[in-house]
Chains A and B, each alone.
Chain A
Amino acid sequence: MTKFPSREGYALILAIMLVFIVMLLIISWVTFIKNRSRRIIHLEDSVQAFYNAESGLAKALWYLAGNGDVNFEVKNGVRTRTDTLFDNAGSIANIKTREHGFFTEIISEGKQGRFTETVKARIGCSNQGIFTNTCNILSPGILHIRGSVEGNIETRGVVDGNVKGEVIQNPSLVFPAISYGAISSGMAQYRSFIENPAQADTELFSPLVVDDKKDIPHKNIIYVNDVVLIENDDYSNPLTIEGSSIIVSPDEIQISGNVRLSGIDLVTYGRILITDDCIVKDAVLYSESEIELRKDAKFAGTILTKGGIKVCENVSILQNSVLLSNTDRSQIELDDRSYINGTIVLCPKVGLGKTVTSHIVVGQNVKVKGLLYSTTGVRLKGSVTGTIFTPTFIGEPAYPDTLNLNVLEGDVTVLNEKDFILPQIFSGMSRKLFSWEKE
């Protein structure tokens, strides 16, 4: 009799296999559902974390407007504060503010559960009422237009020439008041960096020559008791340096070549020279002497000096930048195919017996978009899209009939841009948030 292999237990194995497969399917399905629900539960927290960051921004603005019992911790000019929002310990915003080149920078970090979101923004002044007229002239004499003006002119005197707009004669014309206090305190803040090397995080006693990223110490304030040279001759490989440092030198600072600087402030008694295709952005340049930008350089930020400013040879100044000088002898000179988007202010202190010879010069082939504000005078040959506040236009000797006064040789047109932000140097202007970004 032949014996056949036993098939007992076959159903059991089948059942176990079936159970195993079903269990596997169920486990993966349950894992998927669990992960999804965890993600959705956390979705609310992550969205709320973002709104906490936004709330921190709103609260910082509220504090800056003079509300609330403000108690900020101050270190190196950065004011920090942690706020519990909505009477709920789970919703927190860490607020950081600092004054940077006449704008206020705010960083707000919102926290909810294990989520953190960060938003950044800047505050400046809104341009309300600034760009109503293209020219605002205090001189009670005659304004001789030799170029073209497309827009209204408000003047204490009369206008001779072609105006595609209205001439408003206003003998009591006044300019938006500049807050000299804000300018002085801004300058004093940067001057104190030069006068007090003890404030610095690191002090160097030899020239700082940077031709590699590693050459700059990773410190907030770097004090160099000699010249600072940041240069790169390799035009195929840019030298990129990003951060939030201040390089202070009582001597000269020079940046040249294929260099990309971002967030690095330069403070000096001497001259600052930026030349040869350099790109410098989010920076404050402070000099007690002179600041010069040349040869295809690009800049975005604030230029602040007690001396002259020279911008020439195809230089571009971008993004609501500020060029401010309170020199009484030098000039703000914009020349040779340069383009400036921002606010140009010349505001020397005047006093009895003081001779002021400074003025703003806008050369031919120069384009300015924004505001030109001078308490002395403007010589305009290039084009301006925006508005000019000046006591008088200064003409070339080619206009003997006008005694070289009040001659406008360039072109002026209206700026139709509501989002143009001004620095916080004008009194009584409302604040405006801009440059909002989520990190």
Chain B
Amino acid sequence: MKARCFLGLINENVIKSHNFPVKIKFGKDMYRSLFKSLKIPVKNTIGFTLIEVLIAIVIIAIVILPVTTILIKGTHSSRMVSKRQKAVFSAQEEMEKLLSVKGVVFSDSVYSVEQAKSIFYIKREVKNNQGLLTISIRVYQDTTEAPLAKLRVLTNQGSY
């Protein structure tokens, strides 16, 4: 009878060189019975020892823990970066809107805008120093927190 090779641990030659036919009990304990009947030293054929597996698990665990932390922090930072980018674009957009309108005096105000599916709060401040206006645009996700972006510009009040 021909024994099949499982996981490449034994092959046909092995079976021949150990005076086959041998009785192989198929099923759950097939391997154990096969190795026993062939008198093959078990320690030379096993792939993963318990210690090996344990060491591998420890190594993976050691690596996985900081990696998970990095992943979490990285994802968070990526989200924040994306938010800041949108906030800068919002600030720039609002600034350009203000600068394109000449001769209109703007006052301080807080309002919300939508930028790429995110809602931001814009805080606009205008200070007049003898006809030279300082326009400040701050962009918040939450007005109680620090601004995500801040832009300032000086502009002339008048007909330039």
Contacts and interface: CB of A to CB of B under 8 A. Distances in A.
B48 interface: yes
B55 A33 contact: no
A30 B70 contact: yes
A29 B44 CA distance: 41
B156 A62 contact: yes
B126 to A, nearest CB: 13
B110 interface: no
B160 A61 contact: yes
Interface stretch (B24-32, B111-119, B147-155): B147-155
B39 interface: yes
Contact of A23 (B55, B63, B151, B155): B63
B154 A37 contact: no
B153 A433 contact: no
B152 A51 contact: yes
Contacts of A7: 45-47
A2 interface: yes
B70 A12 contact: no
Interface in B111-160: 130-132, 134, 149-156, 159-160
Interface string A1-33: 111101111111011101100110010011001
B56 A1 contact: no
A51 B95 contact: yes
Nearest to A433: B160
A49 to B, nearest CB: 11
Contact of B67 (A22, A51, A430): A22
B160 A86 contact: no
Nearest to A51: B153
Contacts of B85: 40, 43
A11 B52 contact: yes
B152 A86 contact: yes
Interface string B67-88: 1001100100110110011001
User: How many residues of B sit at the interface, in one of the four size bands?
Assistant: 35 or more
B21 interface: no
Interface in B20-66: 39-41, 44-49, 52-53, 55-56, 59-60, 63
B1 to A, nearest CB: 20
Contact of A44 (B41, B49, B84, B130): B84
Contacts of B131: 62, 65, 67
B154 A40 contact: no
Nearest to B91: A47
B52 A10 contact: yes
Nearest to A55: B154
A54 interface: yes
A433 B159 CA distance: 9
A36 interface: yes
A41 B46 CA distance: 55
Centre residue among A22, A51, A123 by max chain B CB count within 10 A: A51
Contacts of A37: 77-78, 80-81
Nearest to A5: B44
Nearest to B78: A33
Contacts of B9: 4
B70 A22 contact: no
Contacts of B56: 11-12, 14-15
A2 B92 contact: no
A55 B152 CA distance: 9
A55 B153 contact: yes
Interface in A81-130: 85-86, 91, 123, 126
B47 A10 contact: yes
Contacts of A43: 85, 88
A260 interface: no
Contact of A48 (B45, B67, B80, B152): B152
B47 A15 contact: no
A26 B156 contact: no
A22 B63 contact: yes
B159 A430 contact: yes
A10 B160 contact: no
Interface of A: 1-4, 6-12, 14-16, 18-19, 22-23, 26, 29-30, 33, 36-37, 40-41, 43-44, 47-48, 51, 54-55, 58-59, 61-62, 65, 67-68, 85-86, 91, 123, 126, 430-433
23 contacts: A6-B44, A7-B46, A10-B52, A12-B52, A15-B56, A19-B59, A19-B60, A22-B67, A23-B63, A23-B67, A33-B78, A36-B78, A44-B151, A47-B88, A47-B151, A51-B153, A54-B99, A55-B152, A62-B130, A65-B131, A68-B130, A126-B159, A432-B159
The 8 closest A-B pairs by CB, nearest first: A15-B56, A55-B154, A11-B48, A51-B153, A11-B52, A37-B81, A7-B47, A58-B154
